[in-house]
Amino acid sequence: MLFVYYAVARHLPGLPLWGEVAFLGVVLIPAIFGLVWLALPLWRARGVLPVGAAFAVLAVVCEIADLDIVADFSKLAALTLFAFWFLEFFETVLWVALVAAIIPMVDIFSVFRGPTGHIIEERRSIFETIAFGFPVPGEVRPALLGPPDLLFFALFLAAAARWGLRVGWTWIALAASFGATLALAVWLDIGGLPALPLLSLGFLIPNADLLWRELQGARRRRVAANE
């Protein structure tokens, strides 16, 4: 169904601006990231890195061949598998929480003062090539999310699964964060906002008490080890 929608989206009747925001935030974005939910058991699998690399190559080939739909879903598959592989390097969930606390600042700087902002403003075609598109009914240009946004969505969700956090609520909060960022950008009349700040909150807030409990336990273990 998603492939069909992507194929016919530009031919569908258009929506008012806030209707487009609601459709993307409530329907399309959750539907797309429902695929990440379905792939979540693969976080335990071995060999995801070469499979992710194969999808990345497929995405490049499809971009060259103007097969935009296949390219987009190949990007999503590649970045999801890369995130599952990357999770192996985290020894505790507190490492993930630390990343979630740091990357918003990096993303804000990158979008407003750094390379991401430069690419969006001066090399828009490059960003459109590497980003994942969310087609808007009746529109030619889709809404876009950058590769780091997709990667950290999958990383945070897989971390919730690996360490027994609230997976369902985490998925809801992560997906809602993208819709909220989009709505905020439209309300402020800004061409684009960094998505990682709200995405990080989508991981931290539903699991705040569990992360705090883990932090306290780590402190107690450290004290016991030093006695």
State residue 33's pLDDT score.
Answer: 97
pLDDT at 219: 81
CA distance 162 to 111: 31
Could you say which residues of the chain have pLDDT below 70? 114-125, 226-227
Indicate yes or no: pTM above 0.85. Answer: yes
pLDDT value of residue 217: 84
Q: 11: Cβ–Cβ under 8 A, 6 or more apart, which residues? A: 138
**pLDDT reported for residue 166:** 97
**How many other CB atoms are there within 10 angstroms of residue 132's CB atom?**
20
Q: Are 165 and 174 in contact (CB under 8 A)?
A: no
Of the candidates 154, 161, 163, 155, the residue with the CA atom closest to the CA atom of residue 215: 163
Q: What is the DSSP letter of 27?
A: I
C-alpha 18/C-alpha 26 separation (Å) is 12
